[in-house]
Structure 1
Amino acid sequence: MRPKPLTGDLLAIYDALHAAFGHQHWWPAKTPFETMVGAILTQNVSWTNAAQAIANLEAAGMLDPDLLAAADTGDIARLIIPSRFYNQKAERIQEFAGIYVAEFQADPAVMAAVETGALRERLLAVRGFGKETVDTILLYACRKPVFVVDAYTRRIFSRYGLLPEKVSYDRTQRLFSDHLPPDVKLFNDYHAQIVRLGKTACRKSPLCDRCPIRRVCGSLRCAAADQMSRYDP
């Protein structure tokens, strides 16, 4: 385990990812509410599946908070089948849409005006909303500087010795929030870059020869790459 990570290390990793992959232009949605619904639909499924479910809602004229809040969950479920776990997600979408309408006037600006900590606690109280879903809404829909953590984040940064292998969401998040400026644009694209790296190179069985951060400024070393090099000198 490395000592307390430095801002420079994290920024060097981001710079290398950005140079390799370019800006990722996340979140791919037309409106803040679409982002919120997408954060629910992408739970435990790929974005491709979630995007198809969103397209179905849009084609049916149902991508509207008032309509979703009043809709029968069965009708919502039939439209979001590609997202898997569609019955549960239909209930979550309907409940959240009702809260969005009743408490925030279906206005993303009203929602974003709520203090970050208070808004995070309110959203975490919504049934079926975990930290990743809530933080995705805070960052991408409300433009609050909250770093989103996922399985890719834990995998990549534990391999670099910046985190233990079995690390909590909160500790992983603090790695970034404690050592990076609270910049929405940076947090936005950094998370997207991590997802891109996790999908293309830093997989469960890593493809280290494809990794743009295998060596960063000579200061960080990947344990997975080092292990593979011992078998393939």
Structure 2
Amino acid sequence: MTRKYQLIYDKLLDYYGPQNWWPADTPFEMMIGSILVQNTSWRNVEKALEEVRPFLSPKHIEKLTTEELAQLIRSSGFFNIKAKRIKAFLEWYKSYNYDIDVIKKLDKLQLRNELLSINGIGRETADVILLYAFDKPVFVVDAYARRIFYRLGFDMPKFYDTFRKQVEEVVPEDIGLYNEFHAVLVEHAKVYCKSVPICNGCPLFDVCDRRLDSND
């Protein structure tokens, strides 16, 4: 890992500590949560997960109609769309007999392409599933990563996969490292590097260019 990436990772991990992400009791809950969190806050996802928790297994959700599932996840917003996306994901998952160990043995690129072929699974959602459910080392490019890297002084590519590959070229293929890197970036964006940043006390202050104009 190049010196600046290593410095950012070390400072954030030292400040926030291990995050033990993704917040879920099972890989299946993690995957459902990754769909529910699209275009909403995690607080709303937690409410939806509590409602759906009695049915939170592939075979139970399989038995629910799309309409029944939609009502359970209402608090996540866009619930009708997300119910259809969960059902589409479940259909793919069932093709592997819901066997996560079999899926983990697949090649990362093949698995990523399969996830991207599912209705409603975009690059970011596919990558968090790869990282946190299937233990594949991949860098998740979300709005938080874009914001932080830009303010630090990086001129990262606009296109998702170009950004992702640029980071992956310099970060070792260590699943734990990718897991924590994404998690501490998210935490930092929530605590200090907000839309309107709190620079006082920021653990990255001494290595930040403080570019506060928009990078959109």
Query: Residue 137 of structure 1: CA displacement?
Result: 0.5
TM-score, reference length from structure 2? 0.93
Query: Residue 67 of structure 1: CA displacement?
Result: 2.5
1:115 aligned residue: 107
Gaps of 5+ in 1: 1-5, 228-233
Moved more, 62-71 or 123-132: 62-71
Residues 53 and 80, structure 1, Cα contact 8 Å, conserved in 2: yes
Residues 70 and 94, structure 1, Cα contact 8 Å, conserved in 2: no
1:189-204 to structure 2, matched below 5 A, reads 189-204=180-195
2:152 aligned residue: 160
1:139-154 to structure 2, matched below 5 A, reads 139-154=131-146
2:81 pairs, out of 84, 88, 96, with: 88
1:1-233 to structure 2, matched below 5 A, reads 7-58=2-53, 61-101=54-94, 103-164=95-156, 167-215=158-206, 220-224=207-211
Aligned residues: 213
CA gap of 1:125–1:96, structure 2 versus 1, over 3 A, is same
Percent of pairs with identical residues: 40
Give the Cα separation in 2 of the matches to 1:171 and 1:162: 14
Moved more, 63-72 or 118-127: 63-72
Give the Cα separation in 2 of the matches to 1:161 and 1:54: 38
Q: Calculate the aligned-residue CA RMSD, in Å.
A: 1.6
Give the Cα separation in 2 of the matches to 1:90 and 1:81: 9
Give the Cα separation in 1 of the matches to 2:129 and 2:203: 29
Residues 132 and 179, structure 2, Cα contact 8 Å, conserved in 1: yes
Give the Cα separation in 1 of the matches to 2:155 and 2:39: 23
1:230 aligned residue: none
Give the counterpart letter for 1:85 in structure 2: F
Query: Residue 48 of structure 1: CA displacement?
Result: 1.7
Task: Give CA deviations for 1:36-95 in whole Å, capped at 9, x if unaligned.
Answer: 11110111111121122112111xx21111222332111001111111111100011111
Residues 65 and 98, structure 1, Cα contact 8 Å, conserved in 2: no
Query: Residue 19 of structure 1: CA displacement?
Result: 1.3
1:3 aligned residue: none
Query: Residue 20 of structure 1: CA displacement?
Result: 1.1
Gaps of 5+ in 2: none
Query: Residue 104 of structure 1: CA displacement?
Result: 1.2
